[in-house]
Amino acid sequence: MEKSHKIGRRFEGKVAIVTASTQGIGFSIAERLGIEGASVVISSRKQKNVDDAVEKLRGKGIETFGIVCHVSNAQQRKNLIDKTVQKYGKIDVFISNAAVNPSVDSILETQESVLDKLWEVNVKASILVLQDAAPHMTKGSSVVFISSITAFRPDPAVAMYGALAAQMAPNTRVNCVAPGFVPTHFADFLTRDAAIKQQLEDNTLLKRLGTTEDMAAATAFLASDDASYITGETLVVAGGTQSRL
């Protein structure tokens, strides 16, 4: 992570789980939390991806533990939490980054099987893994969901974050980062076309797409004690792209 300014150590002695964290935004978040002192537990569906990411993070001097976890698999979700607690004894930060984007069809043209997968991974699994984690989360702990600016346009945002914030208060804060368009593998169907990429850049006030490091910095802020009086909020990190209707 190349940064011109000095990065602090806000997560010294803390344990952070980041789901879907072997590449893209999830990896940058894990890297940022680790650079700031956290012991980071990373996960994704494939063992090789986990092993490669662990090696990269450890190469940067970050205390890292990797576990294979498909968030739709109940046993793997439980294993992620159990192994973390066995190794570190607690959970201070939980970053829910796992999501799928299996179709670009409009809602009214989306097949039922695709709707099921979207619900299963993007919504239901995020809640279920948090159910497993919640009993082990420390006082003053933090949860951050990684969502999308598209939660605001064109579809209204789901109120899940606010509901969870109320349920987990006052010991745990729950917030959400809504990234704009970041050229990762997840979004490459939008950014590999030069004309579309230019249009996306033009839609921002800062005239550029976001980076995974931009998302990691915002996530680290919400997860840190610097945001100790913020809960139930969604932070749009989109370079000034219009979001709220």
Answer whether residue 189 shows pLDDT above 80.
Answer: no
Q: In angstroms, what CA-CA distances link 18 with 39, 103, 105, 130, 227?
A: 11, 25, 29, 12, 18
For the record, the structure tokens of 83 come out as 């192994």
Answer whether residue 157 shows pLDDT above 50.
Answer: no
Domains of the chain: 15-184+211-237 (3.40.50.720)
Answer whether residue 139 shows pLDDT above 80.
Answer: yes
Q: Where are the beta strands (DSSP E) in the chain?
A: 15-18, 39-44, 64-68, 91-96, 137-146, 172-179, 234-237
Top-ranked range on mean pLDDT: pick from 55-59, 143-147, 197-201: 55-59
Active-site residues, by number, are: 161
Tokens 């984007």 belong to which residue? 101
Tokens 């959400």 belong to which residue? 176
